[in-house]
């Protein structure tokens, strides 16, 4: 944690501090696992602010930080640094909180927005982070092979989602990365169709998109199966998505443009006649949060770097018919792509 704080300070001028108020960055920089806290970090300050519910926990987890009780007030907290500019997280702080905290600044201090500076180093995952995400993804793989034996016509999407969720928690997951998507039949045309009480029917596509949190880090994977026998159109769509996904993964390596990886998959889908049926980006980074920067998207100007963990998840969605998405998590190590997802991508008919 300390080198992360040091690295952040390298980006701050002598007269700048940051006030971190969102869980992901509080966890990243201090190891503290509750969101009811603030970190004040500058060249002369390492402070964690929380309340009496978390005092013991903060002392144990946020080593190297001085603890201040929030009851002491922000006037005292802001007086602990000589910094003139206090950077805040604009994605996190509410307008109300901003207004309230601002009245506690010293006369010569002011707030400035610093979300990107605070988030920047989280793009590159260290070996320990990659290991945790790989472990989380392994739990997802195990959940998928387990649930395959349970999927059949007559069960609801919700039942299948719950089985996946219970299994992942039993395997050591502390939480879900997001609400499990289990979208069957026509509902599979909704890229984010969370599980409902719809009965799974024979001939349905069933898209399962799920992930869990392991030691603070998220996993994410998607598989689409057919319940019963796949028809010709289902096979056609599935194979286009699979080819787009596989060829995009083959392009992932250090130095390649994120937009170029997106283009590989997008062009394959477009040239197969389904360009209008793939509306979302190809992928996103995953870490403490399920959606992190950068992304594989047409407008992303970044290049792939070692330490990036990215999803690759093209899809084809046809209103009134159904849809297919296939998603793996890829880690970039030693310049090369390493697939963290091991579940089969052959079309599974159940």
Instruction: Point out which residues bind Mn ion (CB under 5 A).
Output: 220, 311
> Beta 175-176 vs 38-42: how paired, if at all?
unpaired
For residues 129 and 313, which CB has a smaller minimum distance to Mn ion in the complex? Answer: 313
- Minimum Å distance from CB 220 to Mn ion? 4
For residues 89 and 220, which CB has a smaller minimum distance to Mn ion in the complex? Answer: 220
List the end-to-end C-alpha distance of the chain, in Å, as a whole number: 46
Calculate the alpha carbon distances from 304 to 217, 255, 285, 342 in Å.
20, 5, 11, 22
For residues 87 and 314, which CB has a smaller minimum distance to Mn ion in the complex? Answer: 314
For residues 218 and 225, which CB has a smaller minimum distance to Mn ion in the complex? Answer: 218
- Minimum Å distance from CB 323 to Mn ion? 15
Query: Which two tokens mark 191?
Result: 């890229």
Which residue, 327, 326, 286, 335, is CA-closest to 310?
Answer: 286
C-alpha angle 243-249-252 in degrees, rounded to nearest 5: 145
Q: Under a CB-based contact definition with an 8 Å cutoff, are residues 261 and 278 in contact?
A: no
- CA dist., res. 25 & res. 290, Å (int): 14
CB atoms within 10 A of CB 159: 18
C-alpha angle 310-314-319 in degrees, rounded to nearest 5: 145
- Minimum Å distance from CB 109 to Mn ion? 40
β-strand partners of 67: 48
How distant is the alpha carbon of residue 206 from its chain centre? 23
Q: What is the DSSP letter of 49?
A: E
- Minimum Å distance from CB 177 to Mn ion? 9
- Minimum Å distance from CB 59 to Mn ion? 36
For residues 141 and 236, which CB has a smaller minimum distance to Mn ion in the complex? Answer: 141
Task: Return all residues near 196 (Cβ < 8 A) that are at least 6 apart.
Answer: 156, 157, 158, 187
For residues 81 and 311, which CB has a smaller minimum distance to Mn ion in the complex? Answer: 311
- Minimum Å distance from CB 211 to Mn ion? 7
- CA dist., res. 124 & res. 122, Å (int): 5
For residues 16 and 220, which CB has a smaller minimum distance to Mn ion in the complex? Answer: 220
For residues 49 and 310, which CB has a smaller minimum distance to Mn ion in the complex? Answer: 310
* Exposure letters 272-307 (e unless 16+ CB within 10 A, then b): bebeebbeebbbbbbbbbbebbbbbbeebebebeeb
- Minimum Å distance from CB 60 to Mn ion? 33
- Minimum Å distance from CB 222 to Mn ion? 7
For residues 21 and 311, which CB has a smaller minimum distance to Mn ion in the complex? Answer: 311
- Minimum Å distance from CB 188 to Mn ion? 16
């Amino acid at each position: 944690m300390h080198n992360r704080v040091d690295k952040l300070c390298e980006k701050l001028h002598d007269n700048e501090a940051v006030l971190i108020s969102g869980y992901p960055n509080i966890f990243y920089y201090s190891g503290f696992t509750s969101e009811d806290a603030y970190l004040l970090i500058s060249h002369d300050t390492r402070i964690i602010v929380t309340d009496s519910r978390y005092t013991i926990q903060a002392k144990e987890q946020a080593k190297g930080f001085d603890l201040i009780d929030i009851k002491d007030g922000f006037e005292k907290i802001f007086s602990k640094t000589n910094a003139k500019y206090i950077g805040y997280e604009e994605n996190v702080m509410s307008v109300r909180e901003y207004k309230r905290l601002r009245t506690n600044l010293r006369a010569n201090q002011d707030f400035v927005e610093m979300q990107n500076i605070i988030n920047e180093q989280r793009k590159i995952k260290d070996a320990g982070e990659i290991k945790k995400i790989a472990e989380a993804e392994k739990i997802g793989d195990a959940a998928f092979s387990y649930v395959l034996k349970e999927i059949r016509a007559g069960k609801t999407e919700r039942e299948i989602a719950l089985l996946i969720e219970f299994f992942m928690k039993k395997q050591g997951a502390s939480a879900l990365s997001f609400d499990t998507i289990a979208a069957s039949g026509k509902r599979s045309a909704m890229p984010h169709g969370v599980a409902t009480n719809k009965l799974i029917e024979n001939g349905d596509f069933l898209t399962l998109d799920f992930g869990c949190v392991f030691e603070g880090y998220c996993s994410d994977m998607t598989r689409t199966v057919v319940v019963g026998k796949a028809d010709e159109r289902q096979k056609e769509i599935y194979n286009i998505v699979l080819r787009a996904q596989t060829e995009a993964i083959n392009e992932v390596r250090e130095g390649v443009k994120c937009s170029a990886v997106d283009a590989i998959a997008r062009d394959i889908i477009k040239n197969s006649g389904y360009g209008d049926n793939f509306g979302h980006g190809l992928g996103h980074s995953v870490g403490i949060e399920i959606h992190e920067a950068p992304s594989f998207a047409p407008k992303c100007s970044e290049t792939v770097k070692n330490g990036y963990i990215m999803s690759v998840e093209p899809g084809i969605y046809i209103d009134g018919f159904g849809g297919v998405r296939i998603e793996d998590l890829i880690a970039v190590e030693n310049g090369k792509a390493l697939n963290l997802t091991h579940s089969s991508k052959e079309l599974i008919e159940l």
